[in-house]
Structure 1
């Protein structure tokens, strides 16, 4: 499947609600209680995969770190979303990939200062090619590639630049074997005018607080939490959702 050209296709908010079981297939019935598992059937099982890429300070052409956060909708079928989706935060799997060659250079150049992301247990130090291979694998199978079960993926980014950087990093040919439904851009969902607002500001505006251990410093986790928070607000507290968007215009 070719990489989708639309970052936020028409009707995608409804599709997000359907994938998360917060809306019926017709869109006429919405879940009404955030503190009970939704009785509505999901559109399909998908993997929500959020990504964040950081380039190296000394060479912006080199990707130093890739942060990933994955939510499998199969794992939340019997869980209540809770306030701003926080009931699902504990199901988010996370991984940070660091270019081991750049990390070694950073140590040499800065007297032992490590690249961001080398501390958490979820971090893997890999060669550049192994990093790319693992990202490709996650986009096809999630974190459990040994099952060899190709999954539908809903990609989540905070802005269009992130996806463009990802395309440049992996090249478009890498996505021919993936099944990406569409890309959810949290920056566009947060501000109707498409105004460039920071991830931190979006989190503050929509009252999405960090939940789940180990997410400190992993921007992909924050991006996925923001998306879940906005979809839940749009479902259960529509007025607050639009008030938040108005503040970011």
Structure 2
């Protein structure tokens, strides 16, 4: 969690209560949370991609004592893979690709999805990659022939599932959000889950 507080320009939890120091150029990062949904009968078939971003440049006036002043700057996107649109999960989890709460979903072809991911990661800015069970989402990204670290702009990775375990909080995303008093519904929509993951990160 100190990595998170460092990049958000917050004082250490266990240290003296000091005023945050001005953010240095190498600390000027974008947090990017990813969530990918795959078909329950063949996980190689990626059906949705969700992206949520929090740009630290937007936080200059944020109140460190008010997490909502950070959360209002989170932006989310939701992509539905048209090639796999018919593969909606129903047996083991309830998929809800048409229930994105934080904007308008975009339908894209499979080969176009990589272009959208490239656009999210190709930047001169440094990035902190965020996920809930991040290794699973990275595997799905690799199945799309995309590597989030290829551009070498990712300077840190934060897994909210691991952080929750370290803080003795529930590791399941839904239970974690409940413990953090975040209202959430329609999980297993990649856009929603990316946003929920970012919200959990900020509030933990």
Q: Which bracket does the TM-score occupy, shorter chain normalised? A: 0.7 to 0.9
2:204 aligned with 1:223, yes or no? no
C-alpha distance in 2 between matches for 1:125 and 1:192: 37
- Where does residue 134 of structure 1 map in the other structure? 116
Cα distance change on mapping 1:29 and 1:54 into 2, 3 Å = same
Work out the number of aligned pairs and report it.
190
In the other structure, the counterpart of 1:102 is 84
Per-residue CA shift, 1:103-129, capped at 9, x if unaligned? 2x359xx9xxxx733354431100111
- Structure 1 equivalent of residue 50 of structure 2: 67
Give the TM-score, by structure 1 length. 0.65
Aligned equivalents of 1:87, 1:176: Cα separation in 2: 32
The structure whose Rg is larger is: 1
Rate the CA distance shift 1:74–1:131 in 2: closer, same or farther, 3 A. same
Equivalent residue in structure 1 for 2:133, among 135, 139, 159: 159
| Residues 170 and 176, structure 2, Cα contact 8 Å, conserved in 1 | no
**Normalising to structure 2: TM-score of the pair?**
0.78
Residue in structure 1 matched with residue 98 of structure 2 by the alignment: 118
Is residue 164 of structure 2 the alignment partner of residue 187 of structure 1?
no
Higher helix share: 1
User: 1:80 and 2:63 equivalent?
Assistant: yes
**Structure with the higher fraction of residues in strand conformation:** 2
Q: For 1:87 and 1:174, how far apart are their aligned partners in 2?
A: 28
Q: How far does residue 219 in structure 1 lie from its aligned partner after superposition? A: 0.2
> Which runs of 5 or more residues in structure 1 are unaligned?
1-12, 32-37, 142-149, 231-249
C-alpha change, 1:154 and 1:166, in structure 2 (3 Å) is farther
**Alignment partner of 1:177 out of 123, 147, 151:** 151
- Partner of 1:64, secondary structure, is strand
> Which residue pairs with 2:22 in the alignment?
41
Deviation at 1:134, TM superposition (A): 0.8
Distance 1:216 1:187, change over 3 A: closer
Contact 2:37 2:48 in 1 (8 A): yes
Q: Specify whether residues 184 and 198 from structure 1 end up closer, same or farther in structure 2 by C-alpha distance, changes over 3 A only.
A: same
Indicate how the Cα distance of structure 1 residues 63 and 167 shifts in structure 2: closer, same or farther if over 3 A, else same. closer
Contact 1:21 1:41 in 2 (8 A): yes
Q: Do 1:139 and 1:178's aligned partners in 2 also have CA atoms closer than 8 Å? A: no
1-structure distance, mates of 2:96, 2:174: 18
Preserved contact between residue 187 and residue 195 of structure 1 (Cα < 8 Å): no
In the alignment, structure 2 segments of 5+ residues that lack a partner are none
Q: CA RMSD in A?
A: 3.1
Deviation readout 1:120-174 (Å, 9 max, x if unpaired): 4431100111112211221223xxxxxxxx2111011111443442452344656
